[in-house]
Amino acid sequence: MFAHRMIEANGVRLHIAEHGTGPLVVLLHGFPESWHSWRHQFEPLAAAGFRVVAPDQRGYGRSDRPDAVDAYTILHLVGDVVALIRALGEERAYVVGHDWGAPVAWHTALLRPDMVLGVAGLSVPPPFRGKQPPLVTAQERFGGRFYWNYFNRPGVADAEFAADTRTTLRKIFYWASGEAPVTAEDRQPLVDPERGWLTTLPDPEVLPAWFGEDDLDVLTEGFSPGFTGALNWYRNLDRNWELTAPWHHAVVTPPALYVYGDRDLVPAFPGTPELIAALPDLMPNLRGAPVRLPGCGHWTQQERPDEVNTALIDFLTTCPRPA
């Protein structure tokens, strides 16, 4: 159904899946995912008249995995999107992101509003830069047990996750889903640095209906080289805070949409519910109130594809069209 190819962009080779013709929509996945997380969006968006492209972002899947940790800053990631749009023969595009892909989408709109016709984020709300580096904040609030801090221990999470890739992904996907039998508030991702993270996560006997064994197969294959490239995104959180100082107090100006699940752990992070409530006042071109999906966990576009597709198509068709 989808065409696959490699694209040279911003000094790396990115694997992309693409489908449809029309104005370009770039779909950016999160952690620990790949282009495949958008499998339910290709056909509906293409049928609505869009050209849909989902890359494996740098460090993931079949795309390049630079060795240097500082090759994964937000400026590199936005640079990949900008270069990808150009390499696809376009000057402007709609950019949609989920999880880590959402900050990349929001920052693309923040740093290059001239190239973004509309921006949508799933799970992670727009970037409003805090008063101090995020790892410092997490260290102070959670005594170093927040998963961001754990991921920043060189080689530790890399080894834990790669010991049994399929089990790692199965546990993470179930734990963060709407099917997990705990509230989002109970799922603050705190890690015992000595025991690791996976020992505390439930291992389901049966996968959720929206995430089958075939989907797990695809994801497992994508992480067969390991998790280090993906984890390096987290290892730049404080560096990103420093690099984005010129945009402190800046806001995303292109038309925007925010969608989240009410059982997602990310919107339950400390301070995030208040941010979401304030978005209509903070975002000058937010189209409507944030879309809240009852019973939906973290994997928004996979758990609730019909609702997400409707929200995206309604949003994209009201945004400016490319000249």
Segment 272-308, tens digit of pLDDT:
999 999 999 889 999 999 999 999 999 999 999 999 9
Q: Residue 297 domain-assigned?
A: yes
- Quick one: how far is CA 210 from the chain centroid? 18
pLDDT digits (tens, 9 = 90+) for 226-277: 999 999 999 999 999 999 999 999 999 999 999 999 999 999 888 899 999 9
Question: What is the spatial distance between Cα 148 and Cα 236, in angstroms, rounded to a whole number?
Answer: 10
240-244 CB contacts, 8 Å cutoff, 24+ apart: 240/73, 240/74, 241/129, 241/130, 241/132, 241/133, 241/134, 242/133, 243/73, 243/74, 243/75, 244/74, 244/107, 244/127, 244/129
pLDDT digits (tens, 9 = 90+) for 21-72: 999 999 999 999 999 999 999 999 999 999 999 999 999 999 999 999 999 9
Q: Residue 249 domain-assigned?
A: yes
Q: Residue 258 domain-assigned?
A: yes
Q: Residue 161 domain-assigned?
A: yes
DSSP, collapsed to helix, strand or coil, labels residue 150 as helix
**In the chain, how many domains are there?**
1
Strand-pairing partners, residue 93, are: 116
Residue 91, class by beta-carbon neighbours within 10 Å (0-12 exposed, 13-18 middle, 19+ buried)?
A: exposed
CATH number of the domain within which 229 lies: 3.40.50.1820
Q: Residue 321 domain-assigned?
A: no
Q: Residue 181 domain-assigned?
A: yes
**Can you give the residue range of the structural domain that contains 303?**
3-316
Q: Residue 222 domain-assigned?
A: yes
- Residue 84 confidence (pLDDT): 98
Edge-to-edge strand ranges of the sheet holding 291-293: 3-9, 12-19, 51-55, 24-28, 93-98, 116-122, 256-261, 291-293
Would you give the end-to-end CA distance of the chain in angstroms? Answer: 29
Q: Which residues form the catalytic set?
A: 99, 298
Q: Residue 323 domain-assigned?
A: no
Question: What is the spatial distance between Cα 184 and Cα 265, in angstroms, rounded to a whole number?
Answer: 5
